[in-house]
Amino acid sequence: MLGLIHTLNIFLLFAYLITTFAYLSDFIKRTDLLNNAKRVFLFITIGIHLFYLLARTIEFDHLPIINKFEIFTLLAFAIAFSYFILELLSDVRGTGVFILIISLIFQTFSTIFIEDLVIVPEVLKNRLLGLHVISALLGYSAFAMSAVYGLLFIMLYKQLKLNRFGLIFSRLPSLESLEKLSYYSVIIGFVLLTFAMAIGVIWLPEAFPNASLLDPKLVSTSIVWLIFGVGILAKAVGNWYGKRVIMFYLTGFVVAMLSMLFTNMMAKSFHVFY
Amino acid sequence: MNIVGISINHRTAPIGVREELHLSPAEITELVAVLKEKLLSGGFILSTCNRTEVFGIQKDGKVDFNRLLNELLQFKHVENLSAKNFEKFFSCSAVKHIFKVTSGVDSLVVGDSQILGQAKEAFQLAEDLQFTDSVIKRVFDVAIKVGKRSIKETLIGEGAVTVSFAAVQVVEKIFADPSTKSALVIGTGETGKLAATHLKELGVVDLTITNRTIARAEQAAKFLNCNVVPFQNYKDELHQYDIIFSATSSEGYVLTKDEVQRAMKLRKGNPICLMDIALPRDIDPGAQKIDNVFYNDIDSLSVIVDQNMKKRKEEIPNVDKIIVEEMINFYSWYNTLDVVPTIKSMREFFEIIGTDELEKIKNKINDEDFEKVEDMIRRLLGRIMHNPTMALREVAEKGTNTDEVAKHSLMVKKLFNLNGFSPSKENAENKNSNTIKS
């Protein structure tokens, strides 16, 4: 089993490389063959990745959330899987390369640095924590996807305003589609983050009886949650459209990333496990 | 193959001259009758705004472009044209030209898909007028196939190549589903009507047009099945439209930046697409600076047209490959026609021998045994003839060396003494005893 896990770890990197390259090639020079083949590659890659994660969970008797590089491979999977579902639902196939490149980067680091972990800290053995981490990761993956769609929106918006009709113009879907994809990703991310926060609140007194509700991690996550919540309301109720709402989501994502960096590296929080 | 053809087209004559030789379906019907009587055994006439072409196989087997040309000029009573205004094609070059026409690479606008439909109509008319034979029909079929393959397998027909269609392409990059948007077309000249037609084709249901002369707007609206707004009122409801095309001949702006700004306020920032396809321009280009206003004029849209034209031209080698492939297929089929009489003679020769031999034993055995022997002989002859038949076809289908085909045909004829063998005569003699069916 261990040998299989090691082989899959290396094979996954190549699978992501091939899939991302297929999406890139199709973006540059669209062909019917690549247009269909790239989706098959992605499906196979996700399938192998899922099998790899299950194999790790069974072999090491814990969910792959114990160190950074396990988290990275889980993030790579979450992003690729979320994109696959979104592509199936929307049938917008031209943006995959911009999303899958993130999965490829995470998987590359994971493949190189991941270790076989058998000893797990007591605090990380809780099942609720597993749910909390996985839903938070999926949520942040969705925010990342929303940010990518937001950036693509801004790129296409500028091209259209400047009357430049290059590769971005010919390959990307319409502005309205990009905005919708960004919006849906934010909604999914918001729901998952809400779920993760709810589990955290339930689990917190049990795991850390003395933890403060003013902990930097909790405060910064609440701010991120609030920003995206307002963004969703602005679109749904305030009828915000286009650049304004996209800029709001992008700001939310930047705040989320900065808060993660700040709380993990600078602030003193109970929420640092690695 | 003695197929000959003449073509007056955008390369050989200006539009005024081409117009003089344009043939309506009724005129084509009339001219075909003349050509059938005097000159051609089969063929077709294709006449569009960019070309008039007459192709066919001469009855006397000769190749005389001038007779074909004179018949056309006499029919149209045109005198000031010379042979220089025509391209002439014969045999292979004629077939290749027909394939090039249906593929769209010979069109004024490279990759024009309309020509395939026009060619289909021309071929259909020729068939309806019984102006075809098996060779011409085959040319039609392959020409249509070339046209379809070119569209399907290459990018020759991709991208907008007119300004108004390019504008529609930009609209599609802004709105995910333009059919749910409302559009206004200002001006009902040719360009305005074309833009409105493109929007309709895009699926825009809520389409409104306006024009200084209300009667013209109403006339166009009736044709396009859309709404009309009086010219003096359209600015009041500007904010209601997501897409605005302007194509008037006005000297000043029909929409100023301030008017667009006002509309955007009422739209609460929802995007608007302004397509100025007029010259001089109708919409103040300053409107482009307003957030969520997407403005394009003829110059910027021409960039798309030029890019797409370049891409289409880059696809010509791929279409040429299809043409060569289909020409090889066509000539493989055509060359088998030369060996068909030999194969037919050989088969009938063997059938007669079989029939003769059966006749000899007919009264010597009972009916049941006769049927068995008859069956056996039929199978025997089938197996004997299979290999030589296939070998002859293969040689013919290679189609590279007609001498080789002739040599093989002669060899078979010599081996079985088929020279001077007349199947029909022999058959007539054996009519009563012809019991074997090939």
Per the structure, the complete domain to which residue A74 belongs is given by 1-120
Q: For residue B163, which residues of chain A lie inside 8 Å, CB to CB? A: none
Asked which of A93, A120, A147 is the last residue of a domain, the reply is A120
Q: Which residue of A has its CA nearest to B153?
A: A32
Q: How many domains does chain A fold into?
A: 2
* Side chain identity at residue A152, one-letter code: L
Check whether residue B199 and residue B284 sit in a common domain.
yes
DSSP category for residue B249: -
Check whether residue B149 and residue B172 sit in a common domain.
no
B226 catalytically annotated: no
Asked which of A120, A147, A162 is the last residue of a domain, the reply is A120
> Is beta strand B3-9 parallel, antiparallel or unpaired with respect to B87-90?
antiparallel
Q: Does B133 lie at the interface with A, CB-CB under 8 angstroms?
A: no
The string of pLDDT tens digits covering residues B271-307 is 999 999 998 899 999 999 999 999 999 999 998 899 8
Check whether residue B258 and residue B283 sit in a common domain.
yes
Which residue of B269, B288, B303 is in closest CB contact with A244?
A: B269
Least confident of A148-162, B18-32, B56-70, B137-151: B56-70
Check whether residue A200 and residue A261 sit in a common domain.
yes
Q: For residue A163, which residues of chain B lie inside 8 Å, CB to CB? A: 296, 300, 303
Check whether residue A25 and residue A157 sit in a common domain.
no
Check whether residue B125 and residue B182 sit in a common domain.
no
Q: What is the mean pLDDT of residues B203-228?
A: 92
The string of pLDDT tens digits covering residues A113-131 is 998 876 777 767 777 888 8
Check whether residue B169 and residue B30 sit in a common domain.
no
Check whether residue A46 and residue A72 sit in a common domain.
yes
Check whether residue B119 and residue B219 sit in a common domain.
no
The string of pLDDT tens digits covering residues B166-190 is 998 899 999 999 999 999 999 998 8
Check whether residue B132 and residue B168 sit in a common domain.
no
Which residue of B269, B288, B307 is in closest CB contact with A241?
A: B269
Check whether residue A140 and residue A238 sit in a common domain.
yes
Q: Which residue of B has its CA nearest to A156?
A: B173
CA torsion, ordered B316, B319, B320, B321, to nearest 10 deg: 130
The band of B62, judged by pLDDT with boundaries at 50, 70 and 90, is confident
Q: Give the model's pLDDT for residue A77.
A: 93
Check whether residue B148 and residue B181 sit in a common domain.
no
Q: For residue A174, which residues of chain B lie inside 8 Å, CB to CB? A: 172-176
Q: Give the model's pLDDT for residue B235.
A: 92
The band of B56, judged by pLDDT with boundaries at 50, 70 and 90, is very high
Q: SS3 of B43, please? A: strand
Asked which of A96, A120, A144 is the last residue of a domain, the reply is A120
Tallying the residues shown for chain B, one arrives at 438
Check whether residue B212 and residue B352 sit in a common domain.
no
Phi, psi of B224 (to 5 degrees): -90, -5
Q: How many domains does chain B fold into?
A: 3
pLDDT surpassing 70 at residue B259: yes
- Which residues, given as ranges, of chain A have pLDDT below 70? 118, 123, 264-274
Listed residue (B26, B36, B18) closest to B78, CA to CA: B18
Q: Give the model's pLDDT for residue A268.
A: 60
Q: With respect to residue B311, please indicate whether it lies within any of the assigned structural domains.
A: no
CA torsion, ordered A244, A250, A251, A257, to nearest 10 deg: 170
Per the DSSP assignment, residues forming a β-bridge with B42 are B57
CATH assignment at residue B270? 3.40.50.720
Check whether residue A208 and residue A95 sit in a common domain.
no
Check whether residue A150 and residue A265 sit in a common domain.
yes
Per the structure, the complete domain to which residue B42 belongs is given by 3-157
Listed residue (A25, A39, A54) closest to A171, CA to CA: A25
Q: Give the model's pLDDT for residue B338.
A: 72
CATH assignment at residue B20? 3.30.460.30
Check whether residue B274 and residue B353 sit in a common domain.
no
Phi, psi of A136 (to 5 degrees): -65, -40
The string of pLDDT tens digits covering residues A147-198 is 999 999 999 999 999 988 888 888 899 999 999 999 999 999 999 999 999 9
Predicted ipTM? Answer: 0.81
Check whether residue A151 and residue A184 sit in a common domain.
yes
Which residue of A160, A173, A177 is in closest CB contact with B294?
A: A160
Q: Which residue of B has its CA nearest to A32?
A: B153
Check whether residue A88 and residue A190 sit in a common domain.
no
DSSP category for residue A262: I
* Side chain identity at residue A110, one-letter code: S
Check whether residue B144 and residue B224 sit in a common domain.
no
Check whether residue B270 and residue B392 sit in a common domain.
no
Asked which of B141, B157, B173 is the last residue of a domain, the reply is B157
